[in-house]
Chains A and B, each alone.
Chain A
Amino acid sequence: MLDATAQAGLVGPGALPRGRSLDAFVTTAVWLGAGLIVAVFFWIVGDVFVHGVGGLSWSFLIDSPTHAGRGGGIGPIIVSTGLILTVCMAVSVPLGVGAGAWLAEFCPSTSLLGASVRRSLDMLAGVPSIVFGLFGNAFFCVYLGMGFSILSGGLTLACMVLPILIRSVEQGFGSVPGEHRRSAAALGMTRARTLAHVLLPAATPGLMAGLVLGIGRAMAETAALIFTSGYVDRMPQSLADSGRAMSVHIYDLSMNVAGGEPNAYTTALVLVASLLVINGATSAIGQRWLCGRSRG
């Protein structure tokens, strides 16, 4: 219905007053929609904040957990989470940007290989996290002999965030106007230089959206990590050690430990806060990189 009205408005100037009131109506609706999202956000995060802020202290951030997590802090767990995330991103970002660039720029639209890779990625996006966990356990931990380790966990997560990264990178490239490429070619730039200096900067919004979603997904993941990076809450010595991620800690405290709820909430609060920091840093770096590249 809105469609018809809008179309009519586009055609006839006589519809202008009606269009104005429609415009006012839609503006209200859009603000209401955004307000609804913000309200839900504050409901959930507010819930976490109210329950979690009481337990927050400096020692909570650096101490080791005691009494199965009911006491002590989450120091080693923060370190493990950081390491898992680093492994995940170190593998998935280059792979994702590479694959995205290939799909968007180098792979002809008729290519069977390209089409099958895209289909595979769409399927990958729908694999439930628990299946990732069981697969990661069978493949990385057992078959590749990495055991329960931060490496296994990070690699499993990398498989998991790949579709999000690749599709948003590809999307970013796809939206660069063809004339950019033609102008670059006319200037005699190689495809590699075009990619690095013209296309990548233009594709940054897509890449950033993918990165933020990927990091969020990785930080939030529980089921895939229980079976791969594991449950040990000791301070990890190397990437080959098992380490408990924050989300696993939250899950265990809330589902298996009687009286674990207060610390589960505080851990959730720390997780949300660190996400705020990571996301902020990501977009700051993204912006700077974007500016530097487009000038260069």
Chain B
Amino acid sequence: MSDKVLAWALRACGIVSGAVVLLIMFFLMQESLPALQRLGLARFFTDASWHPAADASQGRFNITAMVSGTLLTTAGAVLLAAPLGVVSAVFSHYYAPPRVARVHRRLIELLAGIPSVVYGFWGLVSLVPLLNALHPPGQSLLAGIVVLAIMILPTVALLSDAALANVPRSYLDGAAALGLTRWRTVWGVALPAARSGLFTGVLLATARAVGETMAVLMVCGNVVRLPGSVFDPVRTLTANIALEMAYAMGDHRSALFVSGLTLMGLVVLLVAAAGVFSRERVYA
């Protein structure tokens, strides 16, 4: 096959993939337009509370508490899962005997495919009662962070694993020739060489955490309020959509799509921030 045809075919793949998000954006905007027109953007941040109604004039539509809920759960989960995920990848590459590493990897692959309902279920039945004994009601920011962290851990671990697998053999041989200890090889050579892959993994995991719905809904408590501590319940933007969409009509329904749009906005900000904070080009 000729190179030109190939290049065009591949470009087409790229464009089609990129276009999907535009379609989704278009859809979200179309659905949230009625609420934005009748309420204006400002009311989503200045209203007294979130008590939506099908008629815009009767409801209150403040979503800031849910924005912070999403940010807090995501931040907590990433802070927990990112180091642990990288450690897991380092373990299976540099510390574990090959057979153990293979089993370990298979376990993490399985963890990646457990439905969020099952995670939520486990959180609700096993984790929440434990936290409840510690500090009622148990359904809390902390429960959300822990469950989310476990859910995004496989994403970080598997992508880090793939990134470490691509560190050129010669780098490691060089380190061995210099007589570096294992940890110095990992810290000084392997991790820096795999940096961009690790970064992609964390970024995708963060996006997954932002978008996760079912599990969060089951363990977070979903009260619309700024949490005073990690033991207080929070509601995320995704839980807000999932909880209320089934029965929402009119402007309420449309306002839920504004939640969705806000969520997309958050992801855009995260991606942009990631670009600024990493000195390296994100996509090596």
- A residues bordering B, Cβ < 8 Å? 2-3, 6-7, 9-10, 19-20, 22-23, 26-27, 29-31, 33-34, 36-38, 40-41, 43-45, 47-48, 94-99, 101-103, 105-107, 109, 113-114, 116-132, 134-135, 138-139, 159, 162-164, 166-168, 170-172, 174-177, 190-192, 195, 205-206, 208-210, 212-213, 215-217, 219-223, 246-247, 250-251, 254-255, 264, 268, 271-272, 275-276, 279-280
Most buried by A among B3, B14, B155, B267: B14
The answer to whether B263 and A99 have CB atoms under 8 Å apart is no
Residue of B nearest to A206 (CB): B162
Residue B55 interfacial (CB < 8 Å):
no
* Interface of B, helix, strand, loop or mixed by DSSP: helix
* Chain B 213-257 interface residues, beta-carbon cutoff 8 Å to A: 213-214, 237-238, 241-242, 245
Known: A116-B18, A128-B238. 5 other contacts (CB 8 A): A95-B17, A129-B214, A130-B241, A251-B115, A271-B114
The stretch of B56-64, B135-143, B201-209 in contact with A is B201-209
Least Cβ distance of B189 to chain A in Å?
Answer: 10
Q: Give the docked Cα–Cα distance between A205 and B161 (Å).
A: 9
* A209:B114 contact, CB within 8 angstroms: no
Bound CA–CA A121/B271 (angstroms) = 10
> In the bound complex, do residue B27 and residue A135 qualify as a contact, i.e. CB atoms below 8 Å apart?
yes
Count, chain B residues at interface, CB 8 A: 102
Q: Does B134 contact A (CB under 8 A)?
A: no
Whether B112 lies near A212 (C-beta < 8 A) is yes
Is B188 engaged at the interface, CB distance under 8 Å to the other chain?
Answer: yes
Which of A7, A127, A254, A279 has a CB less than 8 Å from the CB of B21? A127
Residue in A114, A120, A138, A195 whose beta carbon sits within 8 Å of that of B22 in the complex: A120
Q: Which residue of A lies closest to B210 (CB)?
A: A126
Residues on the A chain within 8 Å of B196, using CB? 171, 174
Chain A neighbourhood of B98, CB < 8 A: none
Q: Which residues does chain B contribute within 8 Å of A119, judged by CB atoms?
A: 268, 271
Are A174 and B283 closer than 8 Å at their CB atoms?
A: yes
Q: What A residues does B2 contact at CB under 8 A?
A: 190, 192
CB < 8 Å: which of B1, B27, B119 contacts A139?
B27
Cβ–Cβ contact B107 & A41, under 8 A: yes
Question: Does B182 contact A23, Cβ atoms closer than 8 Å?
Answer: yes
Which listed residue (A36, A97, A130, A138) contacts B27, Cβ 8 A? A138
Q: How far is the CB of A62 from chain B (nearest CB, A)?
A: 22
28 contacting pairs across A/B (C-beta < 8 A): A3-B187, A19-B183, A23-B183, A37-B104, A40-B150, A44-B150, A99-B18, A102-B11, A117-B14, A120-B17, A120-B22, A123-B271, A126-B208, A129-B214, A131-B241, A131-B263, A135-B23, A138-B31, A168-B162, A171-B196, A205-B166, A209-B161, A213-B154, A216-B109, A216-B114, A254-B117, A275-B110, A279-B113
Instruction: Give the Cβ gap from A258 to chain B, nearest Cβ, in Å.
Output: 15
> B214, A222: Cβ atoms under 8 Å?
yes
Q: CA separation between A10 and B179, bound complex, in Å?
A: 10
A121 in contact with B159 given A126-B264, A127-B264, A276-B106 (CB within 8 Å): no
Q: Is B28 an interface residue (CB 8 A)?
A: yes
**B180 and A122 within 8 A (CB):** no
Tell me, in angstroms, the Cα distance from A65 to B16 when the chains sit together: 39
- Encode contact with A along B262-281: 1 for CB under 8 Å, 0 otherwise: 01101110110000000001
Q: Is B35 interfacial (CB 8 A cutoff)?
A: no
Rounded to whole angstroms, the CA-CA distance of A104 and B193 in the bound complex is 18
Cβ–Cβ contact A128 & B212, under 8 A? yes
Taking CB atoms, residues of chain B closer than 8 Å to A2 are 187
Q: How far is the CA of A275 from the CA of B113 in the complex (A)?
A: 7
Q: Does B174 contact A (CB under 8 A)?
A: no
Cβ of B131 under 8 Å from chain A: no
Contact A10 B166, beta carbon cutoff 8 Å: no
By a CB distance below 8 angstroms, the chain A residues around B158 are 209, 212-213
Contact B110–A276 (Cβ < 8 Å) = yes
Q: Pick the residue among B13, B153, B238 that contacts A102 (CB under 8 A).
A: B13
Residues A212 and B264 in contact, CB atoms below 8 Å apart: no
Residues of B with C-beta under 8 A to A120: 17-22
Residue of A nearest to B197 (CB): A171
Are B163 and A175 in contact, CB atoms less than 8 angstroms apart? yes
- Docked-complex contact B200 and A171, CB < 8 angstroms: yes
A56 to chain B, nearest CB (A): 16
Q: Which of A44, A116, A128, A164 contacts B263 (CB 8 A)?
A: A128
Q: Is the CB of B114 within 8 A of A250?
A: no
A215 to B118, CA, bound (A): 17
**Of A47, A118, A271, which one neighbours B113 at CB under 8 angstroms?**
A271
Q: Which residues of A contact B172 (CB under 8 A)?
A: none
B33 at interface, CB cutoff 8 A: no
**Residue B211 at the chain A interface, CB threshold 8 Å:** yes
How far is B154's CA from A8's CA once the two chains are assembled, in angstroms? Answer: 33
Q: Closest 5 A-B residue pairs measured CB to CB? A: A98-B13, A216-B113, A126-B267, A175-B166, A216-B112
A7, A167, A215: which has the most chain B beta carbons within 10 Å? A167
User: Within the assembled complex, what's the spacing in Å between the Cα atoms of A101 and B266?
Assistant: 28
